[in-house]
Amino acid sequence: FSGSNPERLSINMAKLVLVLLLLALLSVACCERLFNPQGDQPRPAPECRLRRDRGPCKQRLTRYFYNTRNGRCERFIYGGCRGNRNNFASTGECFEKCKPFRGEVAFG
């Protein structure tokens, strides 16, 4: 660096520091998404991802299930037997167990 223009060297160092800072910020943002894609929210209970299931019986009971497509607890008619665990007595019970989570996708 002897004989170099000190002003030019200072500008190049400033550019280098700026590039390194941007790379550091980018890597932090990227890695945060990789290790914690849902942010600080815990994942919902497994039963919340099950599809609505009326069951084979013939009763007509009003129940609620968590719909992963729109993130809401919705009413359905339950037959009274079997079905699955995505079956709640009230919207409050459903919401408490399956609060809407960002990024949830319905499968199947």
27 shares a domain with 51: no
d(CA 21, CA 103) in angstroms, rounded, equals 30
Domain region containing 72: 46-98
**Per-residue model confidence (pLDDT) at position 7:** 83
Residue 40 lies in a domain: no
Question: What mean pLDDT value characterizes the chain?
Answer: 83
d(CA 68, CA 48) in angstroms, rounded, equals 8
On the question of pLDDT at 98 being above 50, the answer is yes
**Per-residue model confidence (pLDDT) at position 108:** 36
**Per-residue model confidence (pLDDT) at position 24:** 84
Domain count, the chain: 2
- Contact, 66 vs 44, CB < 8 A? yes
77 shares a domain with 53: yes
Percent of the chain exceeding pLDDT 90 equals 49
Query: What pLDDT digit, counting tens, does each position of 34-75 carry?
Result: 555 555 566 778 999 999 999 999 999 999 999 999 999 999
**Per-residue model confidence (pLDDT) at position 32:** 59
54 shares a domain with 94: yes
**Per-residue model confidence (pLDDT) at position 107:** 43
